[in-house]
Structure 1
Amino acid sequence: MQRLCNSNHLAEGSSRGFVIAGSSLLLVRREGRVYAYRNRCPHRGIPLEWQPDQFLDDSASLIQCATHGALFLIESGECVAGPCAGESLEALPCREQDDGIWIAV
């Protein structure tokens, strides 16, 4: 496991992008829990955000691909709308401990 950041660097209802060992990934905090995914849309294999750390839709309730508007459930990564409906983001194992967020890459 590799430490990504301090727990307080990912606020409730927010997202952040990281590059670790050449892999682009994103974190989202929802209802106190942290979710980690590869930053890669299953539709075209491109990064999801259009600006740094901007992975959520306007309501901050779904992960959104900025290129084609695909929407993904935060809790599972499943695409629920858009050109890759039924596919999913690649989830990455993560945990929160010792005031930090840790990920396995």
Structure 2
Amino acid sequence: MQKYFLCRYDELSEGQSKGFSLGDTAAGTDNVFAVMKDGEVYAYKNTCPHQGINLDWQPDQFLDPDGALIQCASHGALFLIESGECIAGPCAGEALTPVPVEHSPEGLYVLLAD
């Protein structure tokens, strides 16, 4: 497992989403995003299960207009924030790939498989 720093606690607010590029560009990067809901941080790979494309069409825009669900900007698929399960759209029944989040005094880290 590889550990990557995401952000300080004050850089991700309740009801907000934020995208991150992680890793060495020479070795390829992993794109992930994090969402804070009810004080919990949820992180997922930034890949829609429908066609493997990024979910956001603008930086840090991963949520529907109400901020209640994760939304794929390309196909409108909707995902539960807490589980990543697709509840509407072309990939209904599939799910986003979760990324473990680690809390530390410095802020938030994610763990990615090597």
Superposition TM-score tier, normalisation by shorter sequence: over 0.9
Alignment of 1:1-80 (within 5 A): 1-21=3-23, 22-80=29-87
SS at 1:8's partner residue? helix
Query: In the comparison of the two structures, how many residue pairs are matched?
Result: 105
CA distance in 1, matches of 2:39, 2:21: 23
Q: Which runs of 5+ in 2 are unaligned?
A: 24-28
- Same amino acid, percent of matched pairs: 53
Q: Which runs of 5+ in 1 are unaligned?
A: none
Per the TM alignment, residue 10 of structure 1 is displaced from its structure 2 partner at its CA by 0.3
Tell me which residue corresponds to 1:96: 103
Per the TM alignment, residue 4 of structure 1 is displaced from its structure 2 partner at its CA by 1.1
Alignment of 1:76-87 (within 5 A): 76-87=83-94
**Greater C-alpha radius of gyration:** 2
RMSD: 0.8
CA distance in 1, matches of 2:52, 2:34: 18
Per the TM alignment, residue 99 of structure 1 is displaced from its structure 2 partner at its CA by 4.3
